[in-house]
Amino acid sequence: MSEVRPVPLNLRNSRILPIRFEYYEPTSLDEALELLDKLGEEAKVLAGGTDLIVKMKMRALEPKHLINLKRIPNLNYIVSDSESIRIGALTTWSDLEKSDIVKNELPALYDAVKAMGSLQIRNMATLGGNICNASPAADSAPPLLVYDAKVKVVSKQGVRVIPLTEFFLGPGVTALRSNEVLTEVVIDKHNVSVGSAFVKISRVATDLAIASAAVMIKLKDGILEDVKIALGSVAPTPVRAKSLEAALVGRPAKLEEVKQYLNLLEKDIKPIDDVRGTAWYRREVSKVLVYDAFLKALNRLGGCSL
Amino acid sequence: MTAWSFLGSKTLRKDSLAKVSGALKFTNDLEVPGMLIGRIFRSPYAFADVKRINKERAERLGAVVITPDDVPQKLYNPRLVSVHEVTFKDHQVLTKRPRFVGDPIAAVAASSEELAQRALELLEVEFENIRKPILDPFEAMSPDAPPIHERIMKGDKWVEVKNNVGAELTYSEGDVDEAFKKADVVIERFFKTGRRYHMQLEPKAVLCVPHTDGSITIYTTTQTIHNTRILVSQIFDLPESKVNVVKVPIGGSFGSSIQTNVIVPIAVALCLKARKPVKIALTREEDMYDHVGFSMHFRIKAGATKEGFLIGGEFENIIDIGAHQVQPYPLLGTSLGWFVSLYKWRNIRYVGRAVYTNKVPGCAIRGYGAPEVTWAVETIVDELAEELKIDPLEFRLRNYVGKGDIFWGQGPTVRSVIKSDGVPELLKEGSELIGWSSRGRPEDKKGRFRRGIGVGRGFHTSGAGGPISGEVIDYSGAVLKVNEDGSIDYITALQDHGGGTLDAHVKIIAEALGVPPELINVVWSDTSTTPYDVCTHASRGTYVGGAAALKAAEIVKQKIFEYAVRVLGRVVNPEALKIRYDRELKQAVIYVEGNPDLKITLKELATIAWQRNWGTIAAVVTHRATSAPPSFTVWFVEVEVDTYTGKVRPVRVVAGADIGTVINKDLAEGQLHGGFAMGWGMAVAEDTPYNPTTGELLCRGFITDYKIVTAQDMPKVEDFKVLFAETYEPTGPFGAKGLGEAASNPVAAAVANAIANAIGVRFYELPITPDKILKALKERGEWFE
Amino acid sequence: MKRVVRFKLNGEYVEAEVEPNELLINLLRDKLHLTGTKYVCGIGECGACTVLIDGKPVLSCITLAVDVNGKEVVTVEGVSKDGLTPVQEALMEEGAIQCGYCLPGFVVMGEYLLKERMEVSEEELREALRGNLCRCTGYVNIVKAFKKAFEKRGLKS
């Protein structure tokens, strides 16, 4: 056996960015879309850089063109009206953290913000970046999934609005086309409940999730009228636990009740072994995370029916 | 307690201003004109042969390239600590037979890091005989396992490696089999530890500068400038006088630079070929492929009588050393040393084997096996006490090796007698502070979150000195001179890798001479201007290096007195004189007791000596300690286990330390704080698993997947108590002993025992991850479902 | 293709020619000789390379140099231009200094936190500092020092 293999260890150099690329700094969305349309697959868009630059250092991505979106105005906002809450793609995690809208109306997302990364990372990382990076462990994903969020993606050809459930296709793979930019996250108000929460388990305080879960519930007369459950880091993409949701709708909002059906989670998740945890552990602990998120969500509704 | 002028009081570290302002230059911060940047081509295969290297394309880029054919072929061991006859050599500067993913095969140097990186990527290396990696030491020892090294050198002799056992040590005392027959309780356990990474904040770096006369100057991350010099001189056949190694601040070490780093000879080879300065600074991912700690597999069998006395201990120790020996031979000795010096086993049988695997070479990591051995022994001791229904603290008190006992922590050839011992005091006070008596039994604990309290007791030696010269080299040196204004320059080869060792020396000198620390300058020295010091390791910095400094200060003091006699007149001889610090004058005063008019400040005296041509007051000493006394530590830890997720959280900590005289209290406390964080990581988190097919680290060298604790994972300030025993070590400088490793050694033991107290499960494999805890609880049928 | 970036660095305007793939940390360390900012992990996990950009702490090891054009950057060297900050003083006084490699990151964080927040609890401090790794101190004396710096400023910690 004889072969030549250039190896990852020699290719990696986290002190520098060991690859060259063309760099663009569009100052309008149109300009950015024009560039993307022209450069296609070989271009990547840069937002906070906390995932992209690291992947480039690791040589997991070697784009020939880098389009920095940060000089484009008006992509950083959080607005709420009677219909919906809209968050601009370049909104940083620190902006989310400081937003009363997020804190009061989207408590599961707020939990995720507090659980994500370091203060420095939150200053850099954007919500759009977290979604487009499409890590199965993305902290924003489970909360946004339980709020049935949609993303607005734009290209020269026009605008598409994609439900988040259809956006994630695999680890690092999304429905975003190479000429599109994700510009906004939209959450319809009728999908939102204060009875929502996110919990995460990780090795240390600043870490990717071993597993995470978000729950959103709406109650009517002590009965679960609406239940949304989503998990992170237990499947190739962040996932909704639809089997469990279906079983719980119409049931009394009691933890004992929830507990009985937790095994249904196994139908919705496909965890793997990796360096952060085993598939077995993820499967077991997912149930606890959903349970904990439920408890937290119930408490936020006034702590009824414990 | 003695009233000290400086010891024990708070003083600012000498380097603190440079450190908080970012001005301090570490190796990678250095630059010299015309400097090239080096990069190393590392093996992608865990076990293979290099068939061919084509360097043409890299050279065409303008890079300087070295391959195994360009460097000395000698075998070497990067760690010079044992005497020559027991130094096992299997390293090459660059190798044609890589034995782990990351083994250096070639190196390049170019004018920038990016260019060097490009040159590295243009090297074409062809491999053959690519073998399946052997990652398990037991598999490696099996008769049909291929040899990772066929033969190596032991001193000057070639030795054949059998069953991949790189070094072996056996020992016995008394009759263990007979003891086990007599014992009322015998238990046998198998233990396995993780293979931790030091995660010192500064990745290793080296800068080598050539001079026109053929000499070179080396700046590098090291705990030992002298051993670095000796090794480079041996590999490259240069006289030591042509190799100068400069002491550079080091960003943490924990044993990672106890050896001469393998990047040093590579940088030297590049520098000699390029005839230009060459700097190599490892990336974090390379650093993790450069060194990790050892993992250890133990079988321990222990017997005790129903009266609560140990009567026999059998210890088998298999060390997974990785692909090369960073001198694990003394570790075989110290492992036994930790074992026998923790408790009086009375009858002992030991076999230790250092086994090759195709993994990143293991080197010393804070404690040199003591945290691992202490965890296993403290687990067994707890279990024996439970079995015998004796309070675990009482059992420890009955059996521990303490005052008056023979002690040989650093292995069978380094023995001395214990003269200071704060264990009873620390056990008592610590247990009261933590609330030991109300810790409860695990079977009575209910609910999701369960708390438990555990104890871990241990020690570390203060250096590796002894009354006779054993297999370990251990001596230090110091140069001290009084300047013409009475201020002092202190010159030592001894490195401070962060703990504040040199500030301790300054205080020792200050105490001896009455000169305030701010008038004592620590010179950033090099090998050319200092007597030999072996290494800052084995927690010897304060005890051995401090004693050298004190010895020099005593000589200087005598010379001061001789000069003072000339000035003061009427004084019969130098013995009539004393020296003290004068708080008003803020300087040293030489005086005659009971004769207030007979005095002179050191400043006045030094000036007179200069003006009258008497000569400089100075001393050069070399110092060998004749013992290596244990610094005892006793840890009490309270943990909380989430029985639903298996996550463990530290709740409260009481750290007790017997380090003799405390020289710098806040820095000593800092050692214990940091020791806890490291021991906690060892207990519940840290390991470096491998991909079984490729032999690559699963974390690939990135700290994304080698997690160390953050500020948020540690207990609150008020929940972390530190105690110091009121002891005085008669052999130490002003009664002081070492601390760095004792500060961490029993932590994992205390954490593991606390987990057992919380949930009633003992774990024999580290780290105790949430996964393992949950599995154990589920097996017991106890989970929230 | 090289670009010229102009930005305010530690209070002074600077101009540098950089390649698009050049990182801010290397611009600071290699070209501008400000070596206080440390490379430790290179992937935004440890906080040793923390600098302030427009007043906010970010990680210079994953920031492109071209990206600071027109912005204001403060490094550890700039933090103490007008004398030591309360955090620096407290770190020195509380025995929080061991090897010192992580300290520039903590000092920059301290500068930010003292300006940004009027008071902090220990829990909030620990959360704010969780992105700065230290292997020597177990964070105890570092947290103590930060608390002291907040107290010193005349506000309750």
* Contact list, B711 vs chain A (CB under 8 Å): 205
* Contact list, A205 vs chain C (CB under 8 Å): 127, 130
Report the complex ipTM. Answer: 0.97
* Contact list, A3 vs chain B (CB under 8 Å): 126-127, 130
| Same domain flag for A83 and A173 | yes
The answer, yes or no, to whether residue A1 has pLDDT greater than 50, is no
Using pLDDT thresholds of 50, 70 and 90, give the confidence band for residue B545. very high
Answer for the pair B350, B336: CB distance below 8 angstroms, yes or no.
Answer: yes
In a domain, A129, yes or no: yes
CATH numbers and ranges of domains, chain B? 16-23+475-623 (3.30.365.10), 31-131+201-252+257-288 (3.90.1170.50), 295-467+627-779 (3.30.365.10)
Please give the average per-residue pLDDT across B475-502, as a whole number.
97
| Same domain flag for A51 and A118 | no
* % of chain B at pLDDT higher than 70: 100
Q: Are strands A84-88 and A78-80 parallel, antiparallel or unpaired?
A: antiparallel
Please give the average per-residue pLDDT across B748-753, as a whole number.
98
Spatial distance between the Cα atoms of A94 and A98, rounded to a whole number of angstroms: 6
A68 — contact with chain C (CB < 8 Å)? yes
The DSSP annotation for A42-94 comes to GEEEESS-TTHHHHHHTTS---SEEEE-TTSTT---EEE-SSEEEEETT-BHH
* A86-115 residues touching B, CB cutoff 8 A: none
B717 — contact with chain A (CB < 8 Å)? no
The answer, yes or no, to whether residue A4 has pLDDT greater than 50, is no
| Same domain flag for C54 and C110 | no
CATH code: domain of residue A127: 3.30.465.10
- Among the partner-chain residues A68, A70, A120, the one whose CB lies closest to the CB of C131 is A120
Is the Cβ pair B784, A288 closer than 8 Å?
A: yes
User: Minimal CA–CA distance to A202: which of C87, B364, B383, B646?
Assistant: B646
| Same domain flag for A202 and A185 | no
* Contact list, A259 vs chain B (CB under 8 Å): 784-785
A76 — contact with chain C (CB < 8 Å)? no
| Same domain flag for C68 and C100 | no
In a domain, A8, yes or no: no
* B491-530 residues touching C, CB cutoff 8 A: 497-500
Residues 6+ apart with CB under 8 A from B162: none
Q: Which tokens go with C108?
A: 């920059």
Residue ending a domain, among C37, C63, C79, is C79
Tens digit of each residue's pLDDT (9 = 90 or more) over B298-307: 999 999 999 9
Is the Cβ pair C122, B12 closer than 8 Å?
A: no
The DSSP annotation for A94-123 comes to HHHHH-HHHHHH-HHHHHHHHHSS-HHHHH
Q: B772 to chain A: nearest residue by CA?
A: A281
The answer, yes or no, to whether residue A304 has pLDDT greater than 80, is no
Question: Which residue has 């850089």 as its token pair?
Answer: A49
Mapped onto helix, strand or coil, the DSSP state of residue C120 is: coil
- Computed over every residue of chain B, the mean pLDDT equals 97
Cis peptide bond N-terminal to B767, omega within 30: yes
Using pLDDT thresholds of 50, 70 and 90, give the confidence band for residue C9. very high
- Among the partner-chain residues B249, B498, B669, the one whose CB lies closest to the CB of C136 is B498
In a domain, C157, yes or no: no
For chain B, what is the radius of gyration of the CA atoms? Answer: 27
State the total domains in chain A: 3
Please give the average per-residue pLDDT across B468-487, as a whole number.
96
The answer, yes or no, to whether residue A115 has pLDDT greater than 60, is yes
In a domain, C45, yes or no: yes
- Among the partner-chain residues A4, A16, A288, the one whose CB lies closest to the CB of B124 is A4
**What sign does the CA torsion over B523, B529, B531, B534 have?**
positive
Is the Cβ pair C37, B22 closer than 8 Å?
A: yes
| Same domain flag for C90 and C42 | no
Mapped onto helix, strand or coil, the DSSP state of residue A205 is: coil
| Same domain flag for C37 and C22 | yes
Question: Which residue has 């390649």 as its token pair?
Answer: C19
Q: Are strands B157-160 and B595-601 parallel, antiparallel or unpaired?
A: unpaired
A66 — contact with chain C (CB < 8 Å)? yes
| Same domain flag for A112 and A168 | yes
Q: Is A306 or B538 the better-scoring residue by pLDDT? A: B538
A121 — contact with chain C (CB < 8 Å)? yes
Residue B572 has a pLDDT of: 86
Tens digit of each residue's pLDDT (9 = 90 or more) over B557-605: 999 999 999 999 888 899 999 999 999 999 999 999 999 889 999 999 9
CATH code: domain of residue A280: 3.30.390.50
A9 — contact with chain C (CB < 8 Å)? no
* Contact list, B666 vs chain C (CB under 8 Å): 94-95, 141
Is the Cβ pair C134, B201 closer than 8 Å?
A: yes
| Same domain flag for A206 and A185 | no
Tens digit of each residue's pLDDT (9 = 90 or more) over A241-295: 999 999 999 999 999 999 999 999 999 999 999 999 999 999 999 999 999 999 9
Q: Is-above-0.90 flag for pTM?
A: yes
- Among the partner-chain residues A9, A206, A280, the one whose CB lies closest to the CB of B102 is A9
The answer, yes or no, to whether residue B355 has pLDDT greater than 50, is yes
| Same domain flag for C71 and C90 | no
Residue C157 has a pLDDT of: 38
Answer for the pair B170, B355: CB distance below 8 angstroms, yes or no.
Answer: no
DSSP state of B444: G
Tens digit of each residue's pLDDT (9 = 90 or more) over B427-451: 999 999 999 999 999 999 999 999 9
**What sign does the CA torsion over B425, B427, B432, B433 have?**
positive
- Computed over every residue of chain C, the mean pLDDT equals 95
Tens digit of each residue's pLDDT (9 = 90 or more) over C97-129: 999 999 999 999 999 999 998 889 999 999 999
| Same domain flag for C71 and C138 | no
Is the Cβ pair A123, C58 closer than 8 Å?
A: yes
Domain that holds residue C50: 3-79
Domain that holds residue A53: 18-68
* Contact list, B51 vs chain A (CB under 8 Å): 2
Phi, psi of A108 (to 5 degrees): -65, -40
A4 — contact with chain B (CB < 8 Å)? yes
| Same domain flag for C96 and C140 | yes
Residues 6+ apart with CB under 8 A from B699: A275, B288, B688, B705, B706
Is the Cβ pair A68, C41 closer than 8 Å?
A: no
Residue B695 has a pLDDT of: 95
| Same domain flag for A87 and A180 | yes
Residue ending a domain, among C36, C53, C79, is C79
| Same domain flag for C98 and C144 | yes
The C-alpha of A200 sits at a distance from chain B's nearest C-alpha, in angstroms, of 11
Q: Cβ of C32: how many Cβ atoms within 10 Å?
A: 17
Residue B10 has a pLDDT of: 87
Is the Cβ pair A206, B281 closer than 8 Å?
A: no
Residue B2 has a pLDDT of: 64
Residue ending a domain, among A134, A157, A191, is A191
The answer, yes or no, to whether residue A7 has pLDDT greater than 90, is no
The answer, yes or no, to whether residue B665 has pLDDT greater than 90, is yes
In a domain, A295, yes or no: yes
Residue B1 has a pLDDT of: 52
| Same domain flag for C31 and C72 | yes
In a domain, A6, yes or no: no
Q: B688 to chain A: nearest residue by CA?
A: A275
Using pLDDT thresholds of 50, 70 and 90, give the confidence band for residue C156. very low
Please give the average per-residue pLDDT across B668-677, as a whole number.
98
Q: C58 to chain A: nearest residue by CA?
A: A120
Residue C106 has a pLDDT of: 98
Tens digit of each residue's pLDDT (9 = 90 or more) over A129-177: 999 999 999 999 999 999 999 999 999 999 999 999 999 999 999 999 9
| Same domain flag for A213 and A276 | yes
- Among the partner-chain residues A25, A46, A57, the one whose CB lies closest to the CB of C42 is A57
Tens digit of each residue's pLDDT (9 = 90 or more) over C13-55: 999 999 999 999 999 999 999 999 999 999 999 999 999 999 9
| Same domain flag for C118 and C101 | yes
Tens digit of each residue's pLDDT (9 = 90 or more) over A11-65: 999 999 999 999 999 999 999 999 999 998 999 999 999 999 999 999 999 999 9
User: Minimal CA–CA distance to A179: which of A28, A33, A16, A305?
Assistant: A33
Spatial distance between the Cα atoms of C24 and C47, rounded to a whole number of angstroms: 14
CATH code: domain of residue A24: 3.30.43.10
DSSP state of B85: G
Residue A303 has a pLDDT of: 64
- Among the partner-chain residues A2, A3, A288, the one whose CB lies closest to the CB of B644 is A288
State the total domains in chain C: 2
Residue B470 has a pLDDT of: 87
| Same domain flag for C26 and C65 | yes
| Number of CB pairs, chain A paired with chain B, less than 8 A apart | 118
Q: Which tokens go with B197?
A: 């990474």
A19 — contact with chain B (CB < 8 Å)? no
Answer for the pair B55, B67: CB distance below 8 angstroms, yes or no.
Answer: yes
The C-alpha of A23 sits at a distance from chain C's nearest C-alpha, in angstroms, of 6
| Same domain flag for A95 and A185 | yes
Using pLDDT thresholds of 50, 70 and 90, give the confidence band for residue B86. very high
Report the residue of C97, C121, C146 to disrupt the B interface, i.e. the one with the largest count of B CBs within 10 Å.
Answer: C97
Residue ending a domain, among C39, C54, C79, is C79
Answer for the pair B117, B37: CB distance below 8 angstroms, yes or no.
Answer: no
The C-alpha of B511 sits at a distance from chain A's nearest C-alpha, in angstroms, of 44
CATH code: domain of residue C121: 1.10.150.120
* C118-157 residues touching A, CB cutoff 8 A: 127-132
* Contact list, C22 vs chain A (CB under 8 Å): 17
In a domain, A84, yes or no: yes
Residue B574 has a pLDDT of: 93
The answer, yes or no, to whether residue B247 has pLDDT greater than 60, is yes
* Contact list, B121 vs chain A (CB under 8 Å): 6, 10-11
Task: Give, rounded to a whole angstrom, the gap between the first and last alpha carbons of chain A.
Answer: 65
| Same domain flag for A164 and A263 | no
Residue B11 has a pLDDT of: 84
